[in-house]
Amino acid sequence: MSYGRKYILPNGKTAIYYTWCEYRDILYYGPYTQLKNSSFRPETIIGVVRGGYFPTDIITRTRKFMKSAIGYVSSRSYHDETMSQDENTWCMSDEILLLPPEESINQLQLSRDLGKDVLIVDELPQTGRTLLMVKANIMERLRQNRPNDILQLKTLTVWQKGDFQPDFYGEEVPNDVWIVTPWESEARVLDYRDGVRDGNPVFDPSRDEWLY
């Protein structure tokens, strides 16, 4: 099944806009079902902010995975004047914000012990460099805290793009396609209402309609 609305941008590239319902179906019929049907049961599910926030939140609210602790880690790339145009440096926050399964805000903590089975969640791997960097960082922490355990660290994304292949993933899209998530569209709707225009039509995922 094909999802999304395609639009050719002024620069010639293709953008695919998704509704909330399409996003839910891609997540459910792809990576969520793959994870659910596997033998892997993560003690902690960590979302890479910002793209990994929504799938992490949705998965950990289901009956299957509501007992998993929830974590969020911030990872970003930056570019400075000493780098070539194609170079970026990836950095990751030193702490993982961990919310226990009972979702008590009083127990919110910065955790160093994540258990021995961890799932890392993001929306789209792009080149895969961010997920690989986060994965290596978390694996190092796991080995420090659980040196005698057999550790499992797996990755999950909503879309699959590029050479990096997560353990669980949904719709595959070409490398040259720009994915426009429902929440990104919502932000553009707010810009539209504020009178901000960039020459592209704005897709309203809540109403499933284009704004011109």
Cα–Cα distances (Å) from 5 to 149, 182, 191, 197, in that order, read: 46, 12, 20, 20
pLDDT digits (tens, 9 = 90+) for 37-70: 999 999 889 898 888 999 999 999 999 998 888 8
**Quick one: pLDDT at residue 131?**
86
Give the chain's radius of gyration (CA, Å). Answer: 18
Report the mean per-residue pLDDT for the chain: 79
Question: What domains does the chain contain, in order, with CATH numbers?
Answer: 5-77+86-190 (3.40.50.2020)
**Quick one: pLDDT at residue 204?**
84
pLDDT digits (tens, 9 = 90+) for 65-117: 988 888 888 765 544 444 344 444 444 444 555 554 444 333 434 445 567 78
The enclosing H or E element of 84 equals none
**Quick one: pLDDT at residue 146?**
75
Q: In whole angstroms, give the CA distance from residue 104 to residue 101.
A: 8
**Quick one: pLDDT at residue 1?**
63
Please check whether residue 38 is in contact with residue 12, taking contact to mean a CB–CB distance below 8 angstroms.
Answer: no
Specify which residues 172 forms β-bridges with.
Answer: 160
More confident residue, 103 or 19: 19
